[in-house]
Chain A
Amino acid sequence: ETGVTQTPRHLVMGMTNKKSLKCEQHLGHNAMYWYKQSAKKPLELMFVYSLEERVENNSVPSRFSPECPNSSHLFLHLHTLQPEDSALYLCASSLSGDQPQHFGDGTRLSIL
């Protein structure tokens, strides 16, 4: 059972749609992350929030917009996505410092 919950688990959307992915953690962590997982590629770190401030943005296209309203919630707002954006999007959380990251089970995103 994971302490990091992601919704929805599956999402199919057209290229002109706007949708949001949600992540919630109940572990008392103060850092949260978005990763993209594509087949046969390494997990790609997209965004890092520490103490609700964005501290990392790995050259992610602006069609992905993160939001961290508090230390327990993280959103990824999606708009005008491309077919190559189809992937598994994983959220993770940790305590800043010398602590491991805990992952959610991901949202499988398909762009038509």
Chain B
Amino acid sequence: AAGVIQSPRHLIKEKRETATLKCYPIPRHDTVYWYQQGPGQDPQFLISFYEKMQSDKGSIPDRFSAQQFSDYHSELNMSSLELGDSALYFCASSLGRGTRQPQHFGDGTRLSIL
């Protein structure tokens, strides 16, 4: 079965640079979620989109923005990167929001800030 695809798998950036992470949801899934997992931490919800509109917002810094496109893929844009942004970034998708359908996670993008 098709899964959530995230690219790139690994990304190395320097402080103050920008980064763009991409997420391709499972086919027919209309809801995308972004999470940030720091070293040894639990995943923290950043933002979600339903039918190309922002659905919910968590602890996403103002330096980050995201959007969902007409083909339902999503991009997380990160600017003025800081050392503390080094983390594993997960994208998840589901069919519908707030429903019994679970969120299926991609393998994550590991972002390292030098």
Report whether chain A binds chain B.
no
A residues at B contact (CB < 8 Å) = none
Q: State the B residues within 8 Å of A (CB).
A: none
